[in-house]
A and B are shown apart, each in its own frame.
Chain A
Amino acid sequence: MNSVAPSLGFRDLTLTALGAGLVVALGAAPPIPLGILPVPITLQTLGVMLAGLLLGPRRGATAMLVFVALVAIGLPVLAGGRGGFGILVGPTAGYLLGWMPAAMVVGILARHGERIGSSVARIACYIGACLFGGVIVIHACGVAWLSLVTGLDWGKAFFGTLLFVPGDVVKAVLAAIICRRIEIFMTLDRR
Protein backbone atom coordinates (compact mmCIF):
# COMPACT_ATOMS: atom_id res chain seq x y z
CA MET A 1 0.00 0.00 0.00
CA ASN A 2 1.18 3.49 -0.66
CA SER A 3 0.97 5.09 2.73
CA VAL A 4 1.66 8.80 2.90
CA ALA A 5 2.61 8.57 6.56
CA PRO A 6 5.75 6.47 7.12
CA SER A 7 4.56 3.15 8.55
CA LEU A 8 5.78 1.89 11.90
CA GLY A 9 8.30 -0.96 11.90
CA PHE A 10 8.02 -4.13 13.99
CA ARG A 11 9.97 -2.63 16.88
CA ASP A 12 7.62 0.37 16.90
CA LEU A 13 4.55 -1.88 16.68
CA THR A 14 5.76 -4.08 19.54
CA LEU A 15 6.56 -1.05 21.66
CA THR A 16 3.14 0.35 20.85
CA ALA A 17 1.41 -2.90 21.84
CA LEU A 18 3.44 -3.17 25.03
CA GLY A 19 2.79 0.52 25.80
CA ALA A 20 -0.93 -0.27 25.66
CA GLY A 21 -0.18 -3.28 27.86
CA LEU A 22 1.53 -1.01 30.40
CA VAL A 23 -1.64 1.06 30.75
CA VAL A 24 -3.68 -2.15 31.10
CA ALA A 25 -1.29 -3.38 33.78
CA LEU A 26 -1.52 -0.14 35.76
CA GLY A 27 -5.29 -0.58 35.72
CA ALA A 28 -4.80 -3.57 38.01
CA ALA A 29 -4.34 -1.11 40.88
CA PRO A 30 -7.77 -0.53 42.48
CA PRO A 31 -9.38 2.83 41.52
CA ILE A 32 -10.05 5.47 44.20
CA PRO A 33 -13.68 6.66 43.97
CA LEU A 34 -14.24 10.39 44.42
CA GLY A 35 -17.62 10.51 46.12
CA ILE A 36 -20.20 12.14 43.86
CA LEU A 37 -17.98 12.34 40.77
CA PRO A 38 -18.39 9.62 38.14
CA VAL A 39 -14.67 9.20 37.24
CA PRO A 40 -12.45 7.45 39.81
CA ILE A 41 -8.75 8.20 40.30
CA THR A 42 -6.70 5.44 38.66
CA LEU A 43 -3.02 4.80 37.97
CA GLN A 44 -3.82 4.45 34.27
CA THR A 45 -3.28 8.15 33.57
CA LEU A 46 0.25 7.61 34.92
CA GLY A 47 0.56 5.04 32.12
CA VAL A 48 -0.57 7.66 29.57
CA MET A 49 2.16 10.04 30.73
CA LEU A 50 4.74 7.23 30.71
CA ALA A 51 3.72 6.15 27.20
CA GLY A 52 4.46 9.67 25.94
CA LEU A 53 7.68 9.98 27.94
CA LEU A 54 9.12 6.54 27.16
CA LEU A 55 7.84 5.84 23.65
CA GLY A 56 7.65 9.32 22.14
CA PRO A 57 4.74 11.17 20.52
CA ARG A 58 3.88 8.90 17.61
CA ARG A 59 4.25 5.55 19.31
CA GLY A 60 2.75 6.87 22.55
CA ALA A 61 -0.36 8.16 20.77
CA THR A 62 -0.65 4.92 18.78
CA ALA A 63 -0.36 2.90 22.01
CA MET A 64 -3.28 4.87 23.42
CA LEU A 65 -5.24 4.32 20.20
CA VAL A 66 -4.64 0.59 20.62
CA PHE A 67 -5.78 0.83 24.24
CA VAL A 68 -9.01 2.59 23.23
CA ALA A 69 -9.56 -0.11 20.60
CA LEU A 70 -9.11 -2.76 23.32
CA VAL A 71 -11.76 -0.99 25.40
CA ALA A 72 -14.05 -0.77 22.36
CA ILE A 73 -13.88 -4.47 21.54
CA GLY A 74 -14.97 -5.28 25.07
CA LEU A 75 -11.81 -6.37 26.85
CA PRO A 76 -11.96 -5.45 30.57
CA VAL A 77 -8.81 -3.33 30.39
CA LEU A 78 -10.02 -0.24 32.25
CA ALA A 79 -9.49 0.03 36.00
CA GLY A 80 -12.16 -1.95 37.81
CA GLY A 81 -12.40 -4.47 34.95
CA ARG A 82 -14.52 -2.28 32.70
CA GLY A 83 -14.62 -2.33 28.90
CA GLY A 84 -16.99 -2.27 25.91
CA PHE A 85 -18.55 0.25 23.59
CA GLY A 86 -20.71 1.48 26.46
CA ILE A 87 -17.66 3.28 27.89
CA LEU A 88 -16.99 5.05 24.59
CA VAL A 89 -20.50 6.42 24.26
CA GLY A 90 -20.84 7.56 27.89
CA PRO A 91 -20.59 11.12 29.18
CA THR A 92 -17.01 10.64 30.42
CA ALA A 93 -15.61 9.12 27.20
CA GLY A 94 -13.77 12.39 26.48
CA TYR A 95 -11.29 11.66 29.27
CA LEU A 96 -10.45 8.32 27.65
CA LEU A 97 -10.32 9.68 24.09
CA GLY A 98 -8.10 12.50 25.38
CA TRP A 99 -5.38 9.95 26.18
CA MET A 100 -4.31 9.87 22.52
CA PRO A 101 -3.52 13.59 22.12
CA ALA A 102 -2.21 13.63 25.70
CA ALA A 103 0.46 10.98 25.01
CA MET A 104 1.37 12.78 21.81
CA VAL A 105 1.80 16.16 23.55
CA VAL A 106 3.80 14.60 26.40
CA GLY A 107 6.06 12.90 23.84
CA ILE A 108 6.61 16.07 21.80
CA LEU A 109 7.50 18.12 24.89
CA ALA A 110 9.71 15.32 26.30
CA ARG A 111 11.69 15.30 23.05
CA HIS A 112 12.69 18.91 23.77
CA GLY A 113 13.62 17.93 27.32
CA GLU A 114 16.06 15.20 26.29
CA ARG A 115 18.48 17.82 24.94
CA ILE A 116 18.85 19.34 28.42
CA GLY A 117 22.07 18.27 30.14
CA SER A 118 21.18 19.04 33.77
CA SER A 119 19.28 16.19 35.42
CA VAL A 120 17.14 18.47 37.60
CA ALA A 121 16.22 20.72 34.68
CA ARG A 122 15.35 17.67 32.59
CA ILE A 123 13.07 16.26 35.29
CA ALA A 124 11.42 19.69 35.57
CA CYS A 125 10.88 19.66 31.82
CA TYR A 126 9.37 16.16 31.97
CA ILE A 127 7.09 17.26 34.82
CA GLY A 128 6.01 20.23 32.71
CA ALA A 129 5.38 17.91 29.74
CA CYS A 130 3.24 15.60 31.90
CA LEU A 131 1.34 18.50 33.46
CA PHE A 132 0.54 20.01 30.09
CA GLY A 133 -0.12 16.81 28.16
CA GLY A 134 -1.24 14.43 30.87
CA VAL A 135 -3.32 16.86 32.91
CA ILE A 136 -4.41 19.87 30.85
CA VAL A 137 -4.99 18.04 27.54
CA ILE A 138 -6.87 15.10 29.14
CA HIS A 139 -9.05 17.37 31.27
CA ALA A 140 -9.70 19.71 28.34
CA CYS A 141 -10.88 16.79 26.22
CA GLY A 142 -12.95 15.39 29.10
CA VAL A 143 -14.62 18.71 29.92
CA ALA A 144 -15.27 19.49 26.24
CA TRP A 145 -16.88 16.07 25.64
CA LEU A 146 -18.93 16.18 28.86
CA SER A 147 -20.18 19.63 28.05
CA LEU A 148 -20.91 18.95 24.39
CA VAL A 149 -22.69 15.60 24.71
CA THR A 150 -24.64 16.27 27.90
CA GLY A 151 -25.35 19.95 27.41
CA LEU A 152 -23.82 20.68 30.83
CA ASP A 153 -22.57 24.19 31.35
CA TRP A 154 -18.79 24.45 30.67
CA GLY A 155 -18.24 25.99 34.09
CA LYS A 156 -19.98 23.14 35.91
CA ALA A 157 -18.10 20.52 33.90
CA PHE A 158 -14.80 22.29 34.62
CA PHE A 159 -15.63 22.56 38.32
CA GLY A 160 -16.12 18.79 38.52
CA THR A 161 -12.75 18.05 36.95
CA LEU A 162 -10.78 20.22 39.41
CA LEU A 163 -11.00 17.53 42.11
CA PHE A 164 -8.74 15.27 40.04
CA VAL A 165 -5.98 17.83 39.53
CA PRO A 166 -4.02 17.25 42.79
CA GLY A 167 -3.81 13.50 42.12
CA ASP A 168 -2.77 14.12 38.53
CA VAL A 169 0.00 16.52 39.62
CA VAL A 170 1.39 13.78 41.87
CA LYS A 171 1.24 11.34 38.94
CA ALA A 172 3.05 13.84 36.68
CA VAL A 173 5.92 14.11 39.19
CA LEU A 174 6.02 10.30 39.56
CA ALA A 175 6.07 9.80 35.77
CA ALA A 176 8.98 12.22 35.37
CA ILE A 177 11.00 10.50 38.12
CA ILE A 178 10.26 7.04 36.68
CA CYS A 179 11.31 8.18 33.22
CA ARG A 180 14.54 9.70 34.51
CA ARG A 181 15.38 6.49 36.41
CA ILE A 182 14.81 4.43 33.27
CA GLU A 183 17.03 6.86 31.32
CA ILE A 184 19.86 5.97 33.69
CA PHE A 185 19.74 2.39 32.38
CA MET A 186 19.04 3.02 28.70
CA THR A 187 18.85 5.74 26.08
CA LEU A 188 15.25 6.29 25.10
CA ASP A 189 14.43 6.50 21.42
CA ARG A 190 11.39 8.79 21.23
CA ARG A 191 9.65 8.82 17.87
Chain B
Amino acid sequence: MTTSHGAPRGRSGALAALCALAVLGAMLTQVDRIDLLAPAAVACAVGLAIAHGSFRTALRDIRMALLVVAITALFDVATGGGMNGLRLFLRFSALVCAAQIVTTSWGWAELTGAVVTLLRPLDRLGLLDAERCAFTLMLAIRFVPVMAQEIAEIREAQALRGLDRSVLALVVPLGLRILLRAEEIAQAVDLRAGPPASIGHHGGSRPIAASSLSSRAAS
Protein backbone atom coordinates (compact mmCIF):
# COMPACT_ATOMS: atom_id res chain seq x y z
CA MET B 1 0.00 0.00 0.00
CA THR B 2 1.21 3.50 -0.79
CA THR B 3 1.36 5.52 2.37
CA SER B 4 2.32 9.02 3.26
CA HIS B 5 5.91 9.62 4.25
CA GLY B 6 6.80 12.14 6.90
CA ALA B 7 4.38 14.33 8.81
CA PRO B 8 0.78 14.62 7.66
CA ARG B 9 0.26 17.76 5.60
CA GLY B 10 -3.51 17.99 5.98
CA ARG B 11 -6.55 17.97 3.76
CA SER B 12 -6.03 21.51 2.43
CA GLY B 13 -2.49 20.61 1.34
CA ALA B 14 -3.80 17.51 -0.46
CA LEU B 15 -6.51 19.62 -2.10
CA ALA B 16 -3.94 22.17 -3.29
CA ALA B 17 -1.74 19.35 -4.61
CA LEU B 18 -4.62 17.83 -6.57
CA CYS B 19 -5.43 21.21 -8.11
CA ALA B 20 -1.74 21.74 -8.95
CA LEU B 21 -1.65 18.30 -10.56
CA ALA B 22 -4.67 19.18 -12.70
CA VAL B 23 -3.00 22.45 -13.78
CA LEU B 24 0.27 20.64 -14.56
CA GLY B 25 -1.60 18.05 -16.62
CA ALA B 26 -3.38 20.77 -18.59
CA MET B 27 -0.08 22.61 -19.19
CA LEU B 28 1.82 19.49 -20.27
CA THR B 29 -0.81 18.62 -22.87
CA GLN B 30 -0.28 22.06 -24.45
CA VAL B 31 3.51 21.77 -24.69
CA ASP B 32 5.00 20.03 -27.74
CA ARG B 33 8.63 21.15 -27.45
CA ILE B 34 10.94 18.34 -26.39
CA ASP B 35 13.44 20.83 -24.90
CA LEU B 36 10.70 21.83 -22.41
CA LEU B 37 9.17 18.40 -21.83
CA ALA B 38 12.52 16.72 -21.04
CA PRO B 39 13.43 19.06 -18.12
CA ALA B 40 9.85 18.77 -16.84
CA ALA B 41 10.11 14.98 -16.80
CA VAL B 42 13.52 15.10 -15.06
CA ALA B 43 12.24 17.66 -12.51
CA CYS B 44 9.20 15.52 -11.69
CA ALA B 45 11.37 12.38 -11.35
CA VAL B 46 13.77 14.22 -9.01
CA GLY B 47 10.78 15.60 -7.06
CA LEU B 48 9.43 12.07 -6.68
CA ALA B 49 12.79 10.76 -5.48
CA ILE B 50 12.93 13.58 -2.89
CA ALA B 51 9.31 12.98 -1.79
CA HIS B 52 9.97 9.26 -1.48
CA GLY B 53 13.35 9.60 0.17
CA SER B 54 14.93 7.13 -2.25
CA PHE B 55 14.99 6.91 -6.03
CA ARG B 56 14.92 3.10 -5.97
CA THR B 57 11.70 2.83 -3.94
CA ALA B 58 10.14 5.62 -6.00
CA LEU B 59 10.95 3.70 -9.17
CA ARG B 60 9.46 0.51 -7.72
CA ASP B 61 6.12 2.29 -7.20
CA ILE B 62 5.88 3.73 -10.71
CA ARG B 63 7.69 1.15 -12.82
CA MET B 64 4.47 -0.45 -14.09
CA ALA B 65 2.97 2.91 -15.03
CA LEU B 66 6.23 3.95 -16.74
CA LEU B 67 6.36 0.62 -18.57
CA VAL B 68 2.84 1.25 -19.90
CA VAL B 69 3.92 4.73 -21.06
CA ALA B 70 7.12 3.38 -22.65
CA ILE B 71 5.33 0.60 -24.54
CA THR B 72 2.68 3.02 -25.80
CA ALA B 73 5.42 5.40 -26.96
CA LEU B 74 7.35 2.58 -28.66
CA PHE B 75 4.15 1.44 -30.37
CA ASP B 76 3.67 4.97 -31.65
CA VAL B 77 7.26 5.16 -32.94
CA ALA B 78 7.03 1.68 -34.52
CA THR B 79 3.87 2.63 -36.38
CA GLY B 80 5.38 5.78 -37.87
CA GLY B 81 4.75 8.29 -35.09
CA GLY B 82 8.37 9.56 -35.18
CA MET B 83 9.26 12.16 -32.54
CA ASN B 84 5.69 12.11 -31.25
CA GLY B 85 6.60 8.88 -29.40
CA LEU B 86 9.37 10.68 -27.50
CA ARG B 87 7.04 13.58 -26.70
CA LEU B 88 4.44 11.12 -25.47
CA PHE B 89 6.98 9.36 -23.25
CA LEU B 90 8.33 12.57 -21.70
CA ARG B 91 4.88 14.11 -21.18
CA PHE B 92 3.38 11.07 -19.49
CA SER B 93 6.51 10.25 -17.49
CA ALA B 94 6.36 13.75 -16.01
CA LEU B 95 2.67 13.40 -15.29
CA VAL B 96 2.99 9.94 -13.74
CA CYS B 97 5.86 11.10 -11.51
CA ALA B 98 3.93 14.23 -10.47
CA ALA B 99 0.84 12.16 -9.70
CA GLN B 100 2.93 9.75 -7.67
CA ILE B 101 4.39 12.65 -5.67
CA VAL B 102 0.80 13.50 -4.62
CA THR B 103 0.01 9.87 -3.76
CA THR B 104 3.26 9.50 -1.81
CA SER B 105 3.07 12.77 0.09
CA TRP B 106 -0.48 12.44 1.42
CA GLY B 107 -2.22 9.51 3.10
CA TRP B 108 -5.50 8.04 1.90
CA ALA B 109 -7.47 9.76 4.66
CA GLU B 110 -6.25 13.21 3.58
CA LEU B 111 -6.78 12.42 -0.11
CA THR B 112 -10.28 11.11 0.65
CA GLY B 113 -11.03 14.37 2.46
CA ALA B 114 -9.68 16.34 -0.49
CA VAL B 115 -11.76 14.33 -2.99
CA VAL B 116 -14.90 14.92 -0.89
CA THR B 117 -14.09 18.64 -0.79
CA LEU B 118 -13.78 18.62 -4.58
CA LEU B 119 -17.21 16.96 -4.76
CA ARG B 120 -18.88 19.73 -2.68
CA PRO B 121 -19.74 21.94 -5.70
CA LEU B 122 -21.55 18.98 -7.29
CA ASP B 123 -23.33 18.47 -3.96
CA ARG B 124 -24.47 22.11 -3.93
CA LEU B 125 -25.80 21.65 -7.47
CA GLY B 126 -27.75 18.65 -6.19
CA LEU B 127 -25.96 16.19 -8.46
CA LEU B 128 -24.66 14.01 -5.61
CA ASP B 129 -24.39 13.78 -1.86
CA ALA B 130 -20.75 14.33 -0.83
CA GLU B 131 -21.31 13.05 2.73
CA ARG B 132 -22.74 9.80 1.48
CA CYS B 133 -19.86 9.53 -1.00
CA ALA B 134 -17.42 9.84 1.92
CA PHE B 135 -19.39 7.20 3.85
CA THR B 136 -19.31 4.80 0.90
CA LEU B 137 -15.60 5.34 0.37
CA MET B 138 -14.85 4.66 4.04
CA LEU B 139 -17.05 1.59 3.92
CA ALA B 140 -15.27 0.30 0.81
CA ILE B 141 -11.85 0.85 2.42
CA ARG B 142 -13.09 -0.92 5.55
CA PHE B 143 -14.26 -3.91 3.50
CA VAL B 144 -11.21 -4.46 1.30
CA PRO B 145 -9.54 -6.75 3.90
CA VAL B 146 -12.90 -8.36 4.73
CA MET B 147 -13.39 -9.30 1.08
CA ALA B 148 -9.89 -10.77 0.92
CA GLN B 149 -10.77 -12.89 3.95
CA GLU B 150 -14.07 -14.00 2.35
CA ILE B 151 -12.21 -15.06 -0.79
CA ALA B 152 -9.65 -16.99 1.23
CA GLU B 153 -12.45 -18.83 3.09
CA ILE B 154 -14.32 -19.68 -0.13
CA ARG B 155 -11.12 -20.83 -1.85
CA GLU B 156 -10.26 -23.04 1.08
CA ALA B 157 -13.73 -24.61 1.10
CA GLN B 158 -13.74 -25.14 -2.68
CA ALA B 159 -10.21 -26.55 -2.64
CA LEU B 160 -11.44 -29.26 -0.27
CA ARG B 161 -14.06 -30.11 -2.90
CA GLY B 162 -11.45 -30.10 -5.67
CA LEU B 163 -12.88 -26.91 -7.21
CA ASP B 164 -9.96 -24.59 -6.49
CA ARG B 165 -9.40 -23.70 -10.17
CA SER B 166 -13.03 -22.92 -11.00
CA VAL B 167 -13.99 -19.23 -11.37
CA LEU B 168 -17.70 -20.09 -10.98
CA ALA B 169 -17.06 -21.95 -7.72
CA LEU B 170 -15.39 -18.83 -6.36
CA VAL B 171 -17.52 -15.98 -7.69
CA VAL B 172 -21.05 -17.41 -7.20
CA PRO B 173 -20.68 -17.84 -3.40
CA LEU B 174 -18.75 -14.56 -3.23
CA GLY B 175 -21.59 -12.69 -4.97
CA LEU B 176 -24.17 -14.30 -2.67
CA ARG B 177 -22.14 -13.44 0.43
CA ILE B 178 -21.79 -9.82 -0.69
CA LEU B 179 -25.53 -9.41 -1.25
CA LEU B 180 -26.41 -11.04 2.09
CA ARG B 181 -23.73 -9.14 3.99
CA ALA B 182 -24.90 -5.82 2.53
CA GLU B 183 -28.39 -6.56 3.85
CA GLU B 184 -27.01 -7.38 7.32
CA ILE B 185 -24.84 -4.26 7.46
CA ALA B 186 -27.66 -2.02 6.24
CA GLN B 187 -29.96 -3.38 8.94
CA ALA B 188 -27.25 -2.91 11.60
CA VAL B 189 -26.56 0.68 10.48
CA ASP B 190 -30.29 1.42 10.38
CA LEU B 191 -30.66 0.14 13.93
CA ARG B 192 -27.76 2.28 15.17
CA ALA B 193 -28.95 5.32 13.21
CA GLY B 194 -32.36 5.41 14.88
CA PRO B 195 -35.91 5.13 13.54
CA PRO B 196 -36.34 4.60 9.78
CA ALA B 197 -38.11 7.94 9.43
CA SER B 198 -34.89 9.81 10.23
CA ILE B 199 -32.68 8.06 7.68
CA GLY B 200 -34.49 6.32 4.88
CA HIS B 201 -33.50 2.78 4.08
CA HIS B 202 -33.79 3.45 0.37
CA GLY B 203 -33.16 7.13 0.13
CA GLY B 204 -33.59 9.34 3.13
CA SER B 205 -32.93 12.99 2.34
CA ARG B 206 -32.02 14.27 5.80
CA PRO B 207 -28.45 15.55 6.04
CA ILE B 208 -26.08 13.27 7.92
CA ALA B 209 -22.82 14.40 9.47
CA ALA B 210 -19.89 12.98 7.53
CA SER B 211 -17.95 12.24 10.73
CA SER B 212 -20.91 10.32 12.11
CA LEU B 213 -21.23 8.25 8.94
CA SER B 214 -17.52 7.64 8.73
CA SER B 215 -17.39 6.45 12.33
CA ARG B 216 -20.29 4.08 11.63
CA ALA B 217 -18.46 2.78 8.58
CA ALA B 218 -15.32 2.25 10.57
CA SER B 219 -17.09 0.45 13.45
Q: Is the CB of A89 within 8 A of B139?
A: no
**Interface of A: prevailing SS:** helix
7 example contacts (A-B, Cβ-Cβ < 8 A) are as follows: A1-B207, A4-B126, A7-B132, A7-B205, A13-B186, A177-B168, A182-B179
Q: Is the CB of B176 within 8 A of A19?
A: no
Q: Report if A39 contacts B (CB, 8 A).
A: yes
Interface residues of B in 77-115 (CB under 8 A from A): 79, 81, 84, 88, 92, 95-100, 102-104, 108, 111-112, 115
How far does the alpha carbon of A188 sit from the alpha carbon of B3 in the complex, in Å? 38
Q: Report if A11 contacts B (CB, 8 A).
A: yes
Q: Is the CB of A10 within 8 A of B71?
A: no
Q: Is the CB of A9 within 8 A of B144?
A: no
Q: Is the CB of A38 within 8 A of B67?
A: yes
- If A25-B151, A90-B69, A91-B69 touch, whether A84 touches B175 (CB-CB below 8 Å) is no
Total inter-chain residue pairs, C-beta < 8 Å: 242
How far does the alpha carbon of A7 sit from the alpha carbon of B199 in the complex, in Å? 11
Please indicate which of the listed interface residues B67, B133, B167 has the most CB atoms of chain A within 10 Å of its own CB: B167
How far does the alpha carbon of A39 sit from the alpha carbon of B64 in the complex, in Å? 10
Q: Which residues of A contact B68 (CB under 8 A)?
A: 38-39, 90-92
How far does the alpha carbon of A28 sit from the alpha carbon of B137 in the complex, in Å? 20
How many chain A residues sit at the interface, stated as a range, is: 35 or more
Q: Is the CB of A10 within 8 A of B189?
A: yes
Q: Report if A116 contacts B (CB, 8 A).
A: no
Interface residues of B (CB under 8 A from A): 1-3, 21, 25, 29, 61-62, 64-65, 67-69, 71-72, 75-76, 79, 81, 84, 88, 92, 95-100, 102-104, 108, 111-112, 115, 123-129, 131-133, 135-137, 139-144, 146-148, 150-151, 167-168, 171-172, 174-176, 178-179, 181-183, 185-186, 189-190, 193, 199-205, 207, 217
Interface residues of A in 40-82 (CB under 8 A from B): 43, 46, 50, 54, 62, 66-67, 69-70, 72-77, 80, 82
Which of A11, A18, A54, A85 makes the CB contact (< 8 A) with B103?
A85
Which of B3, B71, B186 makes the CB contact (< 8 A) with A36?
B71
Q: Which residues of A contact B103 (CB under 8 A)?
A: 73-74, 83-86
User: Which partner residue on chain A sits nearest B199 by CB separation?
Assistant: A10
Q: Which residues of A contact B129 (CB under 8 A)?
A: 1, 3, 7-8
Q: Which residues of B contact A4 (CB under 8 A)?
A: 125-127
- If A9-B200, A89-B92, A151-B84 touch, whether A14 touches B72 (CB-CB below 8 Å) is no
Which of B71, B128, B181, B186 makes the CB contact (< 8 A) with A38?
B71
Extra contacts, 12 of them, besides A9-B186, A50-B175, A153-B79 (Cβ < 8 A), are: A18-B140, A22-B147, A25-B174, A38-B67, A54-B179, A75-B108, A82-B64, A83-B1, A89-B99, A156-B79, A160-B75, A185-B176
Which of B21, B69, B123, B168 makes the CB contact (< 8 A) with A178?
B168
User: Which partner residue on chain A sits nearest B205 by CB separation?
Assistant: A7
How far does the alpha carbon of A16 sit from the alpha carbon of B217 in the complex, in Å? 13
Q: Report if A162 contacts B (CB, 8 A).
A: no
Q: Is the CB of A178 within 8 A of B175?
A: yes
